[in-house]
A and B are shown apart, each in its own frame.
Chain A
Amino acid sequence: MYSKDGEDYFIVDAHVALWDARPENQLNVHGKQFIDCFYDYHRNLGPESEHWSYEEFLYYGGERLMKDLFTDGHVDHAIFQPARLGAFYRNGFGQTEESFALAQRHPDKLTYNHCWDPRFEQSGLDQLRRDAERFHLKGVKLYTAEWQGDSRGYKLDDPWTYRYLETCQELGIKNVHIHKGPTIRPLDRDAFDVADVDRAATDFPELNFVVEHCGLPRLEDFCWIATQEPNVHAGLAVAMPFIHTRPRYFAQIIGELLYWLDEDRIQFSSDYALWTPRWLVERFVDFQIPADMTEYPPLTVAQKKKILGLNAAAMYGIDVPTRCAVTEPAVV
């Protein structure tokens, strides 16, 4: 909960991770390259006062996560969105057991989403059924550029992906978070393209598709499909910290999202531990579209409340105290 100027904001951090990128968990040089890339994101986009040491960034553990999110970070509820990265890390990048144990200890504060990979075909599908039961899954996180054997990615409209999505629909796993990456066969075309999300969203109207970092680096492709598909949502992972480094660019992203989608389909996230939520929440509540950008209307308090928590709370069925609600309901 964050309160300012007489307004109470219920905060849902819709994309957090508990990862282990320490050298002993790295399988190969790509494990190091991956976390180094994350660390550069962290240092490049976050304010210097919030920078972590490299050691801290490699692994921070559950206690620190609880402190950064809930004690210091104003967050009421957070959702784990783990990336497996089995080709880079021995025990995976996102730590399933540790995250799930934490979520079991704090069910009011944490939701555990799991990941699947359609290239495991039938055995993965069987595993998904077991995982859904064990983790009580409401959502899944898909990293489409995950490497596996000779394959370096898959698409949302591949036949096996469709079987997994059918199973999600059957099991009531309604929320599909998609993280696009650059290595999908064939390499001939733009791998960041979100056209496959468009097809899947059309064919699975009961599922919600949350496109992380709102389609960046292809904001325009994302906005276009989101206008056509009412079940496509924007996750603000990675887009949020631009509020610090490039506030005018951040204004344009938010302005475009509000124009092409609407205020009910945009979700805040810190992408923890890439960044911590405290400063992001505080800056966003204070944020306003610059006056000279007349192409965008000013942000309202109700819009900020929805983006910071009410939208994700509605999607995940999280109870919101009455004083944090807005007069018109945020419906999914």
Chain B
Amino acid sequence: MAAEALEQLERAARRALLGVFDPELDEPITDLGFVRSIQASNDGRLTVHLRLPTSFCSPNFAYLMASDAKDALTALPGAEEVTVLLDDHHDSDMINRGLAADAGYRGTFGEEAESDLEELRVTFRRKAHTAAMERALTSLLRERPELDEGRLHDVVLGDLPDAPATRALLRRRTALGLGTAPADPVLVDEHGHRYPPGETPLRLRLARAVRISIDGNAHFCRGLLRTRYPESAADQSPRAWEPARATSPKENVS
């Protein structure tokens, strides 16, 4: 394969990995700096190394990201053989063996796996939606101070501004199979149902706790990754929906 073709394959690999998310942090593994290296070789072999903030990150999430990465790369035209390696994790050997053999989740973890990781995925898709809903509604409250919190029950998607937070919410709704029509209500449960009007403040409050948890974890994990692998700082991209203040250097000590 010519040098240009190799570079093209590596670029395509990076683009493909943009679609692989850390389910817990709800961000692409590329933006988080979890992709350590991408290398294509002359015979069309693609080798990708992943790195995580600690050796003790949850093995189930670690496996999900690594196997999603392998699936995304294997689908690329021109990738003859794909190797994904998770570096420096307490389960690296087990996970890398499982990935190499395409053993699947149960084949990788054996006794420790019961059925599959679908429930785990759904749990975190729901949390991601809840957090996105809170971000959109809280920024609406800040923009329209006259809007009473209790009135959020009636807010529909069409009331939200065309902003990154709104677009992020629409993507999370799609991932959960919820409607995205302008007349659809915003403050809904995981099935798209409105809460009773009296519960609006409580539901917003709970959604805020979810959002704070995810935001906090995202910053903690990014910071730990930079401490563990200083060179990863250059690979991390800011979170799309975040106001500039939250990523100011003062709050980003590593």
A residues in contact (CB < 8 Å) with B: 30, 33-34, 36-37, 40-41, 43-45, 47, 150, 152, 181-183, 185-192, 216-220, 223-224, 242, 244-249, 252-253, 256, 259-260, 295
Report whether A248 and B251 are in contact in the complex, using a CB–CB cutoff of 8 Å. Answer: yes
In whole Å, how far is A169's beta carbon from the nearest beta carbon of chain B?
31
Does A150 lie within 8 Å of B54, measured CB to CB?
Answer: no
User: Do A188 and B113 form a contact, CB below 8 Å, given A183-B59, A219-B212, A245-B253?
Assistant: yes
Q: Using C-beta atoms within 8 Å of the partner chain, give the interface range for chain B.
A: 35 or more
B209 is an interface residue with CB less than 8 A from chain A: yes
* Minimum CB distance partner of A42 in chain B: B227
> Least Cβ distance of B24 to chain A in Å?
7
The residue from B63, B209, B228 contacting A223, defined by CB atoms under 8 A apart: B209
Nearest-neighbour CB distance to chain B for A55, whole angstroms, equals 18
Chain A to chain B contacts (Cβ below 8 Å), 7 pairs: A186-B115, A217-B213, A217-B216, A217-B220, A248-B246, A252-B216, A259-B205
B223, CB-defined interface residue at 8 Å: yes
CA–CA, A30 and B112, complex, Å: 19
Docked complex Cα distance between A181 and B115 (Å): 21
Least Cβ distance of B121 to chain A in Å? 10
Of the candidates B57, B212, B254, which one forms a contact with A249 in the assembled complex, judged by CB atoms under 8 Å apart? Answer: B212
* Distance to closest chain A CB from B65 (angstroms): 14
| B224 x A41 contact (CB < 8 A) | yes
Contact of A219 among B116, B209, B219 (CB under 8 A): B209
Residues of B within 8 A of A246 (CB): 216, 219, 251
Q: Give the distance to chain A from B110, nearest Cβ to Cβ, in Å.
A: 9
The answer on a CB contact under 8 Å between B116 and A182 is: no
Asked if A188 contacts B115 (CB within 8 A), the reply is yes
Taking a contact as CB atoms under 8 Å apart, the answer to whether A185 and B112 are in contact is yes
How far, in angstroms, from A181 to B254 measured CA to CA in the complex? 23
In the complex, the answer to whether A190 meets B123 with C-beta atoms within 8 Å is: yes
Nearest chain B CB to A237 CB, angstrom units = 14
Q: Does B21 contact A (CB under 8 A)?
A: no
Among A30, A244, A248, which residue has its beta carbon within 8 angstroms of that of B90? Answer: A30
> Which residues in B have their C-beta under 8 angstroms from that of A260?
209
* CB <8 Å contact, B224 and A182: no
Q: How far is the CA of A150 from the CA of B111 in the complex (A)?
A: 9
- B205:A33 contact, CB within 8 angstroms: no
Q: Give the contacting residue for B254; candidates A44, A223, A253; CB below 8 A.
A: A44
Q: Does B36 contact A (CB under 8 A)?
A: no
Contact (A253, B54) CB under 8 Å given A33-B90, A248-B246: no
The answer, yes or no, to whether B162 is at the interface (CB within 8 Å) is: no
A47 to chain B, nearest CB (A): 8
| Chain B contacts for A152, CB-based, 8 A | 112
- A48 CB, nearest partner CB in chain B, Å: 8
Interface residues of B in 196-234 (CB under 8 A from A): 205-206, 208-210, 212-213, 215-217, 219-220, 223-224, 226-228
